[in-house]
Structure 1
Amino acid sequence: MTTTTTTDTATAVAPILGTEVARRVEQACARCGGTDVTMEAAVRWDINSQEWQVSAVYDKSAYCGGCSADVSVDERELAPTPALATYTVFVRQANGQGTTHVSAHEAPSLVEAERLALAETAADWNDDVDSLAVLGVIAGDVELLSWDDDSWS
């Protein structure tokens, strides 16, 4: 018996895979609405990372490049980016011969993960995508510890 379950978006598996979408915002000039705004900040040298680290942002001192003036800044909510989930995809030649190509892909949907896997397999095998078939897809990245195609011959 074969059971097939199809999930069209990564959002459905996001809670399982820990890929929930974070709230996104942009900072915009309250005067002109442009996003070419800067803020003054204090930075401190971090000896471990060998980089300057922001230690404070002075949110009372915004400057807009579009207005060429000191301005206040408004926070605007942005549309969320699609959640990406990891899919492990199993691909084989459509005629059932040969070995199985296994690859993991970050994608917003099952359909996109399959498309990426078919393209990767075609490139790896120097083959045409139309001569390949997806055998199965697992939600998540898996570590394949053992595989023996010879036992099925």
Structure 2
Amino acid sequence: MTKITIRCSNCGGENVMRDAWATWDDIAQAWVLGNVFDAAFCDDCETDATIVERPINDVPEAPRCS
């Protein structure tokens, strides 16, 4: 599987957000993500944005000591 990164199509920035809703889970005592919507915003260029997916180049792992 190719790993991806999400970027702003306007400026290429990585600080993009999407609208979403969450519900409270009494058992987990935490907010649980319920849905993610299409609307996106870029904090870098401070505008509504269309997001694009780009592949992340694999970086070789550092050798491990034995």
TM-score using structure 1 length = 0.39
Deviation string, structure 1 residues 77-132 (Cα, Å, up to 9, x no partner) = 112355xxxxxxxxxxxxxxxxxxxxxxxxx57x5231xxxxxxxxxxxxxxxxxx
Q: Are 1:27 and 2:18 an aligned pair?
A: no
Per-residue deviation, 1:37:
0.6
Gaps of 5+ in 2: none
1:62 aligned to 2:40? yes
TM-score (norm 2): 0.83
Q: Per residue, is there more helix in 1 or in 2?
A: 1
CA distance 1:49–1:81, change in 2 (3 Å): farther
Equivalent in 32, 53, 60 of residue 53 of structure 1? 32
Percentage of pairs with the same residue: 29
Name the larger-Rg structure.
1
Q: CA RMSD in A?
A: 1.9
The one of the two structures with greater contact order (alpha-carbon pairs below 8 A, sep at least 6) is: 2
Cα 1:67–1:81 shift into 2, 3 Å: same
Q: What residue is the counterpart of 1:79 in the other structure?
A: 57
Structure 1 runs (4+) deviating above 3 angstroms are: none
CA distance in 2, matches of 1:47, 1:81: 41
Structure 1 runs not aligned, ≥5 long = 1-21, 83-107, 115-153
**Which of the two has greater strand per residue?**
2
